Amino acid sequence: MNNTMNGGLIIPLKKGTHPCFDVEAKKKYGRVHLPVAPKCNVQCNYCNRRYDCVNESRPGVCSAVLAPSQALDYLRQILKKDIDISVIGIAGPGDPLANPDEVFETIELAKHEFPHLHFCLSTNGIEIPKYINKLTELGISHVTLTINAVQPEILANIYSWVRYDKHIYRGPEAGKLVFEKQMEALRLLKEHNIVVKVNSIVLPGYNDHHMAEIAEKVASLGADIMNCIPVYPNRETAFEDITEPSKQKMVDILKSVSKYIKPMGHCTRCRADAAGLLGYDIVDSVTLLQECASKPLYVTKSKPFVAVASHEGMLVNQHLGEVREFLIYAEATNGYTIIDKREAPLPGSGDMRWIQLAKILKDCNTVLVSGAGSNPGSMLKSMGLQIIQMNGLIEIGLDAVYKGKTLAGYKSHSFKCGESCEGNGQGC
């Protein structure tokens, strides 16, 4: 029986309740994927995460990315549905361990309220050795590793680039790194009694002849089950013209794999925001997801502060593009206090300006401004900063972030570049 940790206590997990690992659980138990991990540390030649259709079921896509507090709100609503959800999983849309702060905080929040559920990650495994102790501490019971080859020369043709320890690797170097880290990851996971499923994307002409060899290798290291997934050709990728393997080819592959390891034959190529039974997602889950994604982000342990654009320190009354100095607020015993003042990057560097601003405000959860252009707003949001456009007392904006109070009547009207702005008219 698998176990998971909760505050130092071991809570037994029922066998046969993880629908992705146990075929008998597929029709009875559901799962919910929390899309809190947008960044990825590899570029697979078959993967394009830019496209999303609610009718399209494949890894790497979702209808919205959630912050940890939003994910908890979404999870609460999903668990009210008349479906026996047994698994909370994080499967992207990027790689969970390329987003460790957001992922670990999400798991901690969810585990505090729902310790009886399985907690699961789907990852390429490159960062597993770095975080294995944290995964054990959090009580992760199941991990899916995407292992597309066990020969570095094959892997070199599957990945465009790999980022590890702030370095970019390509070609043979990338293949060697992926192979070594993935084998180490599998070994460590099994040493820590974590159930492991290996996902292998079948890529005709690249690794379709190699599945049995992968199965033999991962089985020797203790993997519990292997899922061979036919590639889903994606536009604007290096493999966009690849041919999806035939049904007979997949039957032959599963037969060859079964000589070494238990094969998974009930995969539905889940999205990063899947919720419900495999193949039968909850009807309004996408609507719930998008509603939660639009709610204010409450402060978190990793981002406890709020940046404010103000001329005089009383009102939110500066547009993002004209701010020269941000006031940094924190919650105090009796209200709020300014803990810092930070200079904003000067205009003139294009998109780099907003990348620099995100770094300057990396410990801030939200930026309160009177207006913002669509480009900087979307860029900062993608880098983890919530932009709230409002006019009025700073305290009212802080109440919205820290206490969840409404901003009705204080939100600014739709802003168009050039209106009430002291910039030079060249965009922000």
174 C-beta neighbours (distance < 10 Å), count: 24
- Answer for the pair 297, 401: CB distance below 8 angstroms, yes or no: yes
> Which 8-state DSSP code applies to residue 393?
E
> What is the DSSP code string of 287-328?
HHHHHHHTSPPPP-SS--EEEE--SSSSEE--BGGG-SEEEE
* Rg of the Cα atoms in the chain: 23
What is the model's pLDDT at position 357? 94
181 closest CA partner among 226, 259, 261, 125: 125
**How many Å apart are CA 257 and CA 264, to the nearest integer?**
10
pLDDT at 50: 59
Domains 3-293 and 305-403 equal at CATH topology level: no
Task: Choose the CATH number for 3-293 among 3.50.50.60, 3.30.70.580, 3.20.20.70, 3.40.140.10.
Answer: 3.20.20.70
Closest CA to 223 of 280, 293, 146, 281: 146
DSSP characters for 221-235? TT--EEEEEE----T
Q: Output the CA angle 101-34-107, nearest 5 degrees.
A: 45
Please report the pLDDT score of residue 298 as a whole number: 64
User: Along the 428 residues of the chain, how does pLDDT read in single tens digits?
Assistant: 333 333 333 234 455 667 666 766 666 777 888 998 888 899 999 887 654 444 445 566 677 788 888 888 888 988 888 777 778 888 888 899 999 988 998 999 899 888 888 889 999 999 999 999 999 999 998 899 999 999 999 999 999 999 999 899 999 999 999 999 999 999 999 999 999 999 999 999 999 999 999 999 999 999 999 999 998 888 888 888 899 999 999 999 999 999 999 988 666 567 777 776 666 676 777 888 888 777 666 667 778 999 999 999 999 999 998 999 999 999 998 899 999 999 999 888 888 999 999 999 999 989 999 988 878 887 888 787 888 888 899 999 998 888 877 666 566 544 444 444 444 434 45
The one-letter amino acid at 222 = G
What's residue 273's pLDDT? 78
pLDDT value of residue 201: 93
Structure tokens at 270: 């889940």
| Domain 305-403 CATH class label | alpha beta
Residue 24's pLDDT is what? Answer: 64
pLDDT of residue 408: 60
Q: What angle do CA 184, 186, 191 make, to 5 degrees?
A: 95
For residue 73, give the amino acid letter: D
For residues 303-341, one letter each, b for 16 or more C-beta atoms within 10 angstroms of the residue's C-beta and e for the rest, the string is bebbbbbbeeeebbbbbbbbbeebbbbbeeeeebeeeee
Contact between 256 and 215 under an 8 Å Cβ cutoff? The reply is yes
Domains of the chain, residue spans: 3-293, 305-403
139 φ/ψ sector (left φ>0, alpha ψ -120 to 50, else beta): left
Query: What pLDDT is stored for residue 69 in this prediction?
Result: 81
- Model-level pTM? 0.69
Q: Measured between alpha carbons, how far is 365 from 141 in angstroms, rounded to an integer?
A: 30
CA 20, 24, 26, 28 torsion-angle sign: negative
pLDDT on residue 63: 72
Residue of 410, 411, 394, 391 whose CA lies nearest to 402? 394
